[in-house]
Structure 1
Amino acid sequence: MIRAIGFVTYKEWAAFRTHMLASLLVGPVLFLVQVFIWQAMFVGKETINGLTFQQMLTYFGVVTLIHYITFDFADWNLQMLVRSGKFVTFALRPLPHWLFALAQKIGHRSLALGVEVLPVMLLFIFLFGVDLMPASPGWAAISILLSFLMNFFINYCVGLTAFWLVRAEGIRRVFLLLKDISAGVFLPLSFFPEVLQKILFFLPFQFITYLPTRVYIGDYELAGVSLTMAEAVGLQAAAVAVTAGLALWLYHLAMKRFTGVGV
């Protein structure tokens, strides 16, 4: 059933793939901005916070690729279904909506591998000269897969707030901004003050972007904690399991509230 839903979603988005092609401009343009910023920052310096200019470009190149692979809109989609009343059709189905949404994401991102990820990767390699060869391909693949799941479950938890709030769009926008900052999208988390690093280490957001990026590069360090690739991926897997458990618990509470409204 999951495979069928994923395949249908793949075909649906393939019919409107020009929407995805438009997003090809976003990643490279943002990366080019990072190139200009860090070129200015590295004038007269060999390293900044232990990273060379080339390593910094690699970091943001990998961040961009992970963003394309793990992109998720489960929060927006769920809130739209609840607000419009269309969620009732999913509540009556034997398959829980969270699993349906996950299958949709698998199909959607499978299409993105060829339409978005591969072209951007080739662009970074041949135009910008970024080294995108993972230090440990196996650990990098597992970590990106876990990042894919972590982003989904966190966003789904945000979407579930629609069952308690009339309009959760404002909360969603603020949360997504804080999530990107705390995940290391705009700046490596190791650049933050030590006190903030210790807080960010225990938040789930680093497991979406920062940790898989550092695993891809082959060196993980945050808040004075250095981990091997196996230890980092193991920690990420534990965090994903906890977040998934939280999402399922909130989903159970939401279903009780949703059915209670109709009584």
Structure 2
Amino acid sequence: MRAIGFATYKEWAAYRSHMAVSLLVGPVYFLVQFFIWSAVFQGTTSLNGFTLEQMLSYFGIAAVINYLTFDFADWNLQMLVRSGKFVTFALRPIPHWLFALAQKLGHRSLGFLIEFVPVSLIFLFIFGIKLWPTLPWWALLSVSLSFLMNFMVNYCVGLTAFWLVRAEGVRRVFLLLKDISAGLFVPLTFFPEWTQKALFFLPFQFITYVPTRVFIGHYELAGYSIGIPALVALQAGATAIMAFLMLALYRSAMRRFTGVGV
């Protein structure tokens, strides 16, 4: 895995300008959020338990966490299946999901240097967003679990290609719903109560909403207020369940897979 991760790091370093675009996209997206929420908060100091400062902190923290957990395993896997190139991975001595995870580790290691660090400094010194977590070690563990959860959810989406072959439409719709349900566009507490209860039992909140709340030091959803240690333990349990589901789906996909090649 270390060799695969290092090779991926060097490969993407040759095209690092692709990642450098994030130096513009991230701050511009945050600036849009700043204008939107400044208008929303006019005439009020608090909305759904958030002040304007807390809301901006939420989006700033969510943005930098996304740089650490970003994943494209779904696109890569579907491309391999559709082109027939997956057959070469089926013959290798390690399962493809482990290969893909090693690739993500290498890719995000480079992303940490090119995306995470510069954008964090922009948020800190230009926008004044405090990015130091209330409980650093719990935050680090939560982001690590988020890293794995995002990979496994996306990989499961990619595995649908073994049944659908051209699953681009399904992939786009699912990933949009995933981002909405993860709290990437708006905190989940802004949804109706019945929606919050449904989202509480789905794995998507553990990708963005939960690690962001761990950073802030307080969690609330669907009327539940959970302490940070208990919340991270719940996140670990959800990640373990997702790992079991991914491996089961992977084995089913391998039984279905047929391919030819040289």
Query: TM-score, with normalisation over the residues of structure 1?
Result: 0.97
In the TM superposition, 1:216-255 aligns within 5 A as 216-255=215-254
Query: Shift of residue 182 of structure 1?
Result: 0.3
Are the counterparts in 1 of residues 81 and 165 from structure 2 also a CA contact under 8 Å?
A: no
Q: Which amino acid aligns with 1:206?
A: Q
In the TM superposition, 1:4-19 aligns within 5 A as 4-19=3-18
Equivalent-residue separation in structure 1 for 2:193 and 2:122 (angstroms): 35
In the TM superposition, 1:1-263 aligns within 5 A as 2-259=1-258
Equivalent position SS for 2:130: coil
Equivalent-residue separation in structure 1 for 2:120 and 2:49 (angstroms): 25
| CA deviations over 1:57-94 (Å, ceiling 9, x no partner) | 11000110111110000000000000000000000001
Equivalent-residue separation in structure 2 for 1:99 and 1:223 (angstroms): 35
Equivalent-residue separation in structure 2 for 1:104 and 1:127 (angstroms): 33
State the percentage of identical aligned residues: 70
Query: Shift of residue 15 of structure 1?
Result: 1.2
Query: Shift of residue 102 of structure 1?
Result: 0.1
Query: Shift of residue 24 of structure 1?
Result: 2.1
Equivalent position SS for 2:21: helix
Instruction: Say which is worse superposed, 36-45 or 76-85, in terms of deviation.
Output: 36-45
Q: Which amino acid aligns with 2:166?
A: R
Q: CA RMSD in A?
A: 0.9
Query: Shift of residue 166 of structure 1?
Result: 2.6
Query: Shift of residue 132 of structure 1?
Result: 1.1
| CA deviations over 1:196-228 (Å, ceiling 9, x no partner) | 000000011000000010001000010011111
Unaligned runs of 5+ in 2: none
Equivalent position SS for 2:160: helix
Query: Shift of residue 40 of structure 1?
Result: 0.5
Unaligned runs of 5+ in 1: none
Q: Which amino acid aligns with 1:251?
A: Y
Query: Shift of residue 25 of structure 1?
Result: 1.5
Equivalent position SS for 1:128: coil
Which 4+ stretches in 1 moved above 4 angstroms?
none
Are the counterparts in 1 of residues 182 and 204 from structure 2 also a CA contact under 8 Å?
A: yes
Number of aligned residues: 260
